[in-house]
Structure 1
Amino acid sequence: MSTTLKATRGVLAAAGRLSPRLAAELAFPLFMRVGRRVRVREEDLFTHDSARRRDITVDGKRVAVYEWGRGNKTVLLVHGWQGRASQFAALVRELRAEGLAVVAFDAPANGDSEGRGTYILDYIEAIRQLQPEEGFHAIVAHSFGVLAALSAVNEGVKAHRMVGIAGVADAGYLVDSFAAQLALRPGTTTALRQVFQRRVFPDGPDIFERFSGVGHPLPAGLPLLLVHDEADAVVSPGQSQRLAAAHPGRSQLLAATALGHTRILAADLTLEAVTRFVVEDEPEPRPLVAAQSPATSSTS
């Protein structure tokens, strides 16, 4: 455990003993912080630089958009928290080889986009602005981006198939996993949920009910592919298992090993499964299944 994390836990524990609300107010800025921007990896630079670039505006912030290919079917890629579009470079190359158009964006406070913070409505608005008239042929999302993509479709964005890689199933998990990392007391965790609702969605409905891929499954008939490492240390594989269970008869879950939370994006297992799922003319409803990837390296 780092010295900073240990000190933060100590401060919040002391505050929580005095007042759960006080501890929650202190923890809230940490909960919303995106963190240091991820750089483009050297092996992804060529694909990143080959994109056609343009900008859109989301909540007053300039958001970088990347486009590859010019096919009549468009695949949207949605990165996760503290991520960037270039993390999908290997998949971009696979999809372009199949003649598909690919579009992605860096969310505010991520990659090459402006801003010091972001939240799920920024993702949803970016997805809405990029949606072609006929809808997306497919949406492929990672981590927090999975919850954002599911929520966007639930709120009107049209897609014909969905892929979630190491995905978050609902907003409640975000608070619970953050609370576990900082060892927050149950009362502080409950108060943090209340602070999140009041600060970010003061006049809206219950955000934990609204943003849930389990409580709000995808439209009937929309097939779902899920890929998750069994030992993912960032997002529990139970999240993808819950999503699969919420979409019976039309979901497929591939359980990987030794790929971690981010490297899974460029793994052969993922590339092959996602490309096949996306290019199939009509994906058939699939039962819940599992597949293993070769355990050739350590998780990351």
Structure 2
Amino acid sequence: MKDFAYLYSPEEATYRFSETHPFNPIRLELTVSLLESMHQLDDIPCIAPRHATDEELALVHDQDYIAAVKAAGTGVLSPLKAQMYGLGTEDTPLFQDMHSGASLLVGGTIEACDLVLSGKYKRTFHIGGGLHHGFRGRASGFCVYNDTAVAMAAMIEKYHCKILYVDTDAHHGDGVQWAFYNRNDVMTLSLHETGRYLFPGTGMVTERGSEEGYGFSWNVPLDAFTEDDSFLLAYETALFEACELFQPDLIITQNGADAHVLDPLTHLSLTMKSYEKIPQIAVAAAEK
């Protein structure tokens, strides 16, 4: 088993809403450039993502929604129908070849997970992944398809495994949580700014799962202006307890960086101290 690989292709920049939209794919190019300049990617294999198939997308998303996304990307979806599917909004506007750009991000996350569970790599990093607001039949919060939820469903179908999903984005990982809310083969752990102040307004401690999934949905809503030490204590405590309880076969981390103190859309106060520690703590949990 090799240690590490990352998934990236400049083609992932085709998932672009507009020139002025805050979810700008230049962040992917800048991330790769920064890591290369720090020699952190020396001798690390780079694997190009593939497009997810319609069958894979349908593990989570409704067939009529997939068809609507395809139509939207070719300009033939009416504004009224687009609104029904959460498309054409201020957050998630339409763009050319939307299905192609979105399915590439999904395929990259599927491949990243499969490379680990197949035993080829110990850890993988999909730079373009983490679209955690996508719902079964609706786009939301910059997210057309939910790449992580689809990848998790695909891995469970293929490997019959247990997956722990850990989300440290400032926004609650609502799409992933609700996709598996009544299942006991997935555990979701989200640390995020409280929904009292921030989209999507969910992620309360009372959201604990339902039916067979009761107790497998964990939320740690953080007050505005939470700083590094408080965040890291909550993160490490919750993550290690979740691992001990659930004993996952795979850990997936969603590493949104918008809890940083300089992010213009959120109100948390993390610094680079947290962003250095978050992956180190996750690796320590996985190793244990």
The reply to whether TM is greater than 0.5 is: no
Q: So what's the TM-score if we normalise by structure 2?
A: 0.40
Between Structure 1 and Structure 2, whose CA radius of gyration is higher?
Answer: 1
Q: So what's the TM-score if we normalise by structure 1?
A: 0.39
